Amino acid sequence: MAERRETLKIIGAISATCTFPYTGNELYGQHADPHAGHASGKQASTGPRKFFTEAEFALLSKLTDLIIPDTDTPGAVKAGVPGYIDLVVDANPEHRKVMREGLAWLQAQGFAAMDQPRQVALLMPLSEVLDKGRVKTLPERFFRLAKNLTCDGYFTSQIGMSETLGFKGGSMMANYPSCEIPEH
Amino acid sequence: MSQQKIFDVVVVGSGPSGGTLAARLARQGVDVALVEGGPKLNTRTDFNTHAMPYEFANRHIPTMKPGKPGMDSQRTRGAGGKSQTWNAVAWRFSQRDFKGKDWDDGAGENWPIDYADLAPHYDSVEREVGVCGNLDGLTDLPDGIFLPPVPLKCSDVLLQRGAAKLGVKVIHVRKATLTKPKSGRPACHYCGNCMAGCDVAAKYNSYDVHIIPAMRQSGKLTLFTDTLAREVMLSPENKVTGVATIDRVTKQQGEVRGRSVVVSCACVQSVGLLQMSKSRRYPTGLANSSGHLGQHFIPHFTGGIEFLLTQLKGKPVGNDEGFLDHAYQPSFMHTRTRPYARSFGAQFGYQNRRGIGWARRFSGFGADFKNAVKAAYPAYVVWSPYGEKIPDGRSRIFLDEKNLDAWGLPEVRRELNWSDNDWKIFNDMTNWGREIVRASGGEILEVATEPRPNHELGGCRMGSDPKSSVVDRNCRTHDVDNLYVVDGSVFPSASEKNPTHTMMALAARTADHLAGRLKKGEL
């Protein structure tokens, strides 16, 4: 973005809403069909698997559950995250490449046969590089994408919003309550 | 749709400006045609107001329900225009906002009108549509006629205390949203998705609050939806005679004729419509003898800081959506020594809570990561400042004749330059934001690094001198006696305050002016 500081020639619409964070349009699959699904109050089905093979999907599922596991609330797989990732990745050629190659890399490490501590140990260096903002290699890019999409998918899922975060918006209130926070 | 009828006034655009103006005229017995490029909507049933992201496979909540048209392009938003999806923040401009050039040593431009000229119209708009807020007694943010304000959120209370340590005030936001039932509209129920279309019209929208009642009660307002204006028609006698139109669906051409025309299609599209209305007399666009049409584009710019309030981490989650932002930090820098002209204000947390992209930035993975996001959830706030852009001589609105849209009309483009003054405000407001967050006990997650445009203003600026402005103090074009422009495009300076209330007050004022001229037989 910084290279556009001098003059911005804005083509098309200026969004009138401030959309934090600045993560581009892959957030929440905005580039996928905007009219997919209907409001029903329930979590929409992502339909049959579109992109991943069965083996890839199994590997991806394990990975998402390591990123957001079952705790006192259900984790990524129970929240339907792998199906969401399948939908988003299918609609994005760059994501398709990173995911396919990344899962092949994971497979080549013998990930599926590892016990959980070894799986975590394999991912830990990738996560540390991501946290330092120094992502370069394919496995690092793959892990970043998997974590980003797992976050998006989980925290917008019914389980993620209602059970884990405890979302209380979307309410019907006669009056908005005052906040009572003592000065000290 | 060709109409043989000649209306008194043809208003183009049914948003907050056009809607207010058309309804006011109709109620005074004036025959009004309201021409809207978009479809008819049913506010009650057509928006996804109460949807959750997980109800959609891709987690993106579309504005309209399946099969319902509307809000799909700037030219064809739908009945009510942007007022259907605005956030309803409603400030009165102050005398300082109208006379910024005098205030800031010659920077920018003065309005040719004063606060006193608009004050009665702010009054009447507030009485009519309902604006909630607190009486704060601030010189720079005039009080009005308010419904009760909505209590501050816990995050607002902490920020108010933090800002107070720095001598900075935080007040209740003022919004054109009902906190008590009024004129058949219910009070807000705090579902938190105001900008997705308010299905009960507790939040003002021009269609439900102005247009529909005026159509029913006066019988003088005719609404043409799906009717795109492609040209304002001009007679050899230098009078406008109506608008040439295209049907949004069938693409059939037609006309709506009138004794006068008001262009109110939201800043950029209003400028575009005049620029498309070329003639031998006005080769660069209607009413552009000054050459200033499209110039002086002065949108607000935002920055922002995302942060966590430490004191709220791990606390029980409440309804933090409310009616989006509940608090506001009014401009305070205009009274302090500063190395730039104008100033900024800020809103707190006006985004809904239905997506948390910020979770991506938390470190690690696994149970600790999940629990950290969960604990942070009730503590997350966005501070969104708005800076005032002064005209920079470069930023402008223009037609792209090479790229035509689905109706064969040229795309309207913006060229936007960030001037030194803009960057100085941006950097200072960002620094102030950091200080306020720090003083409130916040941990910063992310800081915006460049300004982003918002609230489009300018392009048909109002002024006393026909050589350097497009419309006069009554929003009438200097060049054509029966052509008016009423919306954000006429703002000669932008203020840092959200602009819609001022557009509505201008619309009310222009309606009275037009009705008076019609009564005198001047049109």
Residue B81's nearest CA partner among B246, B266, B209 is B266
Residue B379 reports pLDDT greater than 50: yes
Residues from chain B contacting residue A42 (CB–CB below 8 Å): 54-55
Structure tokens at A161: 């919003």
Residue B414: alpha-carbon gap to chain centroid: 17
With an 8 Å Cβ cutoff, are A10 and B316 in contact? no
**Which pLDDT score, from 0 to 100, does residue B56 have?**
92
Residue B322 to residue B350: CA distance in whole angstroms: 10
In terms of DSSP bridges, do strands B261-263 and B483-485 run parallel, antiparallel, or are they unpaired? parallel
Nearest-Cα distance to chain A for B224, in Å, is: 24
Give the pLDDT confidence of B213-244 residue by residue, as tens digits: 999 999 999 999 999 999 999 999 999 999 99
With an 8 Å Cβ cutoff, are A27 and B355 in contact? yes
Give the pLDDT confidence of B253-268 residue by residue, as tens digits: 999 999 999 999 999 9
Give the pLDDT confidence of B34-64 residue by residue, as tens digits: 999 999 999 999 999 999 999 999 998 889 9
Number of H helices, E strands in chain B: 12, 19
With an 8 Å Cβ cutoff, are B355 and A169 in contact? no
Q: Which residue has the higher pLDDT, A39 or B172?
A: B172
**Which pLDDT score, from 0 to 100, does residue A5 have?**
37
Give the pLDDT confidence of B191-205 residue by residue, as tens digits: 999 999 999 999 999
- For B73, name the nearest residue in chain A, comparing CA atoms only: A13
Residues from chain A contacting residue B415 (CB–CB below 8 Å): 7-10
Residues from chain A contacting residue B366 (CB–CB below 8 Å): 66-69, 120
- Global pTM reads 0.93
**Which pLDDT score, from 0 to 100, does residue B3 have?**
55
Choose the closest CB to B357 out of A27, A47, A69: A27
Q: What is the pLDDT along chain A (184 residues), one digit of tens a residue?
A: 333 333 333 333 333 333 333 333 444 444 444 444 445 678 999 999 999 999 999 999 999 999 999 999 999 999 999 999 999 999 999 999 999 999 999 999 999 999 999 999 999 999 999 999 999 999 999 999 999 999 999 999 999 999 999 998 888 889 999 998 887 5
**Which pLDDT score, from 0 to 100, does residue A38 have?**
46
- ipTM (interface predicted TM): 0.90
Are residues B62 and A39 in contact, defined by beta-carbon separation less than 8 angstroms? no
Residue B191: alpha-carbon gap to chain centroid: 22
* Residue for token pair 């009054």: B123
Residue B151 reports pLDDT greater than 70: yes
With an 8 Å Cβ cutoff, are B195 and A87 in contact? no
Choose the closest CB to B450 out of A2, A123, A168: A2
Residues from chain A contacting residue B15 (CB–CB below 8 Å): none
**Which pLDDT score, from 0 to 100, does residue A40 have?**
61
- Distance of CA A87 to CAs A23, A26, A47, A84, A149, Å? 18, 11, 9, 5, 11
Residues from chain B contacting residue A117 (CB–CB below 8 Å): none
Residues from chain A contacting residue B446 (CB–CB below 8 Å): 20-22
Under the banding of pLDDT at 50, 70 and 90, the label for residue B73 is: confident
Nearest-Cα distance to chain B for A55, in Å, is: 23
B49 sits in which H/E element: none
Under the banding of pLDDT at 50, 70 and 90, the label for residue B72 is: confident
What percent of chain B shows pLDDT beyond 70? 99
Residue B397's nearest CA partner among B493, B271, B263, B300 is B271
Domains of chain B: 6-52+61-519 (3.50.50.60)
Residue B288 reports pLDDT greater than 70: yes
Residue boundaries of the structural domains of chain A: 47-165
3-state SS class at B300 = strand
Residue B357 reports pLDDT greater than 80: yes
Q: State chain B's mean pLDDT as an integer.
A: 96
**Which pLDDT score, from 0 to 100, does residue B119 have?**
98
Nearest-Cα distance to chain A for B87, in Å, is: 9
**Which pLDDT score, from 0 to 100, does residue B237 have?**
97
Nearest-Cα distance to chain A for B467, in Å, is: 27
Under the banding of pLDDT at 50, 70 and 90, the label for residue B482 is: very high
Choose the closest CB to B370 out of A69, A166, A178: A69
- For B451, name the nearest residue in chain A, comparing CA atoms only: A5
Choose the closest CB to B66 out of A18, A35, A156: A35
* Residue for token pair 């606390």: B315
Q: Which residue has the higher pLDDT, A8 or B10?
A: B10
Nearest-Cα distance to chain A for B486, in Å, is: 20
Residue B337 reports pLDDT greater than 70: yes
Long-range contacts of B345-348 (CB under 8 A, 24+ apart): B345/B385, B345/B386, B345/B496, B345/B497, B346/B383, B346/B384, B346/B385, B346/B386, B346/B429, B346/B433, B347/B89, B347/B173, B347/B383, B347/B384, B347/B385, B347/B386, B348/B155, B348/B156, B348/B159, B348/B170, B348/B381, B348/B382, B348/B383, B348/B384
Q: What is the mean pLDDT of residues B384-396?
A: 96
With an 8 Å Cβ cutoff, are A10 and B352 in contact? no
Choose the closest CB to A13 out of B48, B74, B357: B74
Q: What is the mean pLDDT of residues B401-423?
A: 96
Residue B456 reports pLDDT greater than 50: yes
Choose the closest CB to B191 out of A13, A29, A170: A170
Nearest-Cα distance to chain B for A52, in Å, is: 17
Residue B384 carries which side chain, given as an amino acid letter?
A: S
